[in-house]
Structure 1
Amino acid sequence: MFLFLSKLLPIFIYPLGLSCLLMLVALVILWKRPRWAAAVISLAWIILLLGSNGLVAQGLVRSLEWQNLPAAQLPQADAIVVLGGAVKPAISPRPWVDVSEAGDRILHGAQLYRQGKAPFLILSGGRIEWKGGGPAESEDLAKIAETMGVPKDAILQDPTSLNTHENAVNVRKILDSQGIRRQVLLVTSAMHMPRSLLIFKRQGIQATPAPTDFLVSEQELQEINSSWQSTLLNIIPDADNLQQTTRALKEYIGLVVYRLRGWL
């Protein structure tokens, strides 16, 4: 039930869901309190306007992504851990495993293995039956890793975890059962890294961040005010900006909820 509620309830906090909820309230009170309805509609409009603003979106994303910028030279570790949420299963009409935007995770993890950063690649991630289903994501990640030249005997899988806390708990169990020291390179999206690091440290795992999937680059920040055209496009509401704002808020909400549950 926690998993379901963790997906459902935040929807009404994110800009789009909150705006829809406010507009529903406005419809209910429209006939009896038109002034109140107008105020509620205005609030919904402001929330959508801010959430889809490029300056707001990039500011929120950067506040998370740039907390753990990758080191120029990552240290050696005993294992490379790649967190799920990066690929879609080979379910018709897909001819093979599809890589999502966060698919940089498995590409980066496999690359680090091929660079000799660690002797094992641990792939962590199951799949929620009521969200598309399919085989465990760790299996699909393993297919991609093998295609990139990672030997099958160097891959360890956690096929059951459904959130970041379970990722860390199951990875700790794998490390202990295989006699591998708890010193790992942690690969996940840059925006997801702050929460992930805290959770892994809570499990007694010494995780060095190896972030990937950056949404905001230095050049993009420089271009924001480089011309009036760029500034105008960042002010005008945009669905991609709204998505980035939502993803950033998801991480901040996750930090609060996970801390309340004692997982950080």
Structure 2
Amino acid sequence: MFLYLSKLLPLFFYPLGLTCIFLLVALFMLWKRPRTAAIAITLALILLLFSSNAWIPNLLVRSLEWQYFPSAQIPNAEAIVVLGGATKPALPPRPGVDLNEAGDRVIYAAQLYRQNKAPVIILSGGRIDWEDNQGLAESEDMAQILTSIGIPSEALIQESESLNTYQNAVNVKKILESRGIRRILLVTSAMHMPRSLLIFKRQGIDAIPAPTDFLVTSSDMQGLASTPKAAILSLLPDSSNLHKFTGAAKEYVGIFVYRLRGWL
């Protein structure tokens, strides 16, 4: 039940969900209370403009992603741990497993393995039963991708039961203890890294952050006000900015909820 509510309830706190709520209020109040309807429409418009311009989402994402920069020299470890959320299952008409926008983490793990940063890769992630329930566990999807690009199957360890980041850490800890592994490289998207690292460290795991999939670069930030035209264009609404804002909001909501539950 917690998993279901954790996926459902936050939707009403994200810009698109809140905007829909404001517009529904306006729709029902339009004839009886037009002033209330006008206020609701105004709030919906402000919220959309606030969350879909380039300035606010980029600053919000940067506040998460730039907490852990990739090291110039990544240290060696005993295992590379890759968190799920990077694949789309092999369901028709897809010819096979696809990587989604977070798929960089799978490729990055392969690169670290080929650089001899660790001898094994632990793939952590199940499949939520109401999302693509005909697909394999995410760990199996990631294993298919990695073996297809030349990573030996004997170097892969799958953890296919976890459905959120907390379960990732708990289940991976069991694997580490059973194999006597003490130090890992934690690979996930840069925006997800602050919450993930806190959870893994809370479990007593010696995790070295190895973030990838950065959505905001220094060039992006410099370009916001590089010219007067750029500054004006940066204020215009864009769906990609709305997506960034929602992703960052999700992480901050997750950090808040996980703290309440004592997982951080």
> Which bin holds the TM-score, normalised by the shorter protein?
over 0.9
1:55 aligns with 2:55: yes
> What does the per-residue CA deviation read over 1:64-99, in whole Å, with 9 as the maximum and x for residues that have no partner?
000011111111111100001001111110001111
Give the alignment's TM-score, normalised by structure 2: 0.97
Q: Return the alpha-carbon distance in structure 2 between the equivalents of residues 57 and 113 of structure 1.
A: 33
Q: Which moved more, 1:79-88 or 1:148-157?
A: 148-157
Match of 2:90 in 1: 90
Q: Return the alpha-carbon distance in structure 1 between the equivalents of residues 10 and 188 of structure 2.
A: 22
Match of 2:22 in 1: 22
Asked if structure 2 preserves the Cα contact closer than 8 Å seen for 1:114 and 1:149, the reply is no
Asked if structure 2 preserves the Cα contact closer than 8 Å seen for 1:84 and 1:138, the reply is yes
Deviation, structure 1 residue 140: 1.1
Deviation, structure 1 residue 142: 0.8
Q: Return the alpha-carbon distance in structure 1 between the equivalents of residues 26 and 37 of structure 2.
A: 4
1:216 aligns with 2:250: no
Deviation, structure 1 residue 119: 1.1
Match of 1:70 in 2: 70
Deviation, structure 1 residue 153: 1.2
Asked if structure 2 preserves the Cα contact closer than 8 Å seen for 1:123 and 1:157, the reply is yes
Asked if structure 2 preserves the Cα contact closer than 8 Å seen for 1:89 and 1:135, the reply is yes
SS of structure 2 residue aligned to 1:235? coil
Q: Return the alpha-carbon distance in structure 1 between the equivalents of residues 218 and 58 of structure 2.
A: 11
Gaps of 5+ in 1: none
The equivalences for 1:1-264 within 5 A come to 1-133=1-133, 134-181=135-182, 183-264=183-264
Q: Return the alpha-carbon distance in structure 2 between the equivalents of residues 64 and 84 of structure 1.
A: 19
Q: Return the alpha-carbon distance in structure 1 between the equivalents of residues 229 and 92 of structure 2.
A: 42
Q: Return the alpha-carbon distance in structure 2 between the equivalents of residues 231 and 8 of structure 1.
A: 36
Q: Return the alpha-carbon distance in structure 2 between the equivalents of residues 71 and 89 of structure 1.
A: 32
Deviation, structure 1 residue 219: 1.1
> What count of residue pairs does the alignment treat as equivalent?
263
SS of structure 1 residue aligned to 2:31? coil
Give the alignment's TM-score, normalised by structure 1: 0.97
Deviation, structure 1 residue 51: 0.7
Amino acid at match of 2:33: R
SS of structure 1 residue aligned to 2:234? helix
Q: Return the alpha-carbon distance in structure 2 between the equivalents of residues 227 and 147 of structure 1.
A: 45
Deviation, structure 1 residue 44: 1.0
The Cα RMSD (Å) is 1.0
> What does the per-residue CA deviation read over 1:113-150, in whole Å, with 9 as the maximum and x for residues that have no partner?
11000111000011112111210110111111122322
Q: Which moved more, 1:139-148 or 1:162-171?
A: 139-148
Amino acid at match of 1:171: V
Deviation, structure 1 residue 35: 1.3
Identity of aligned residues (%): 63
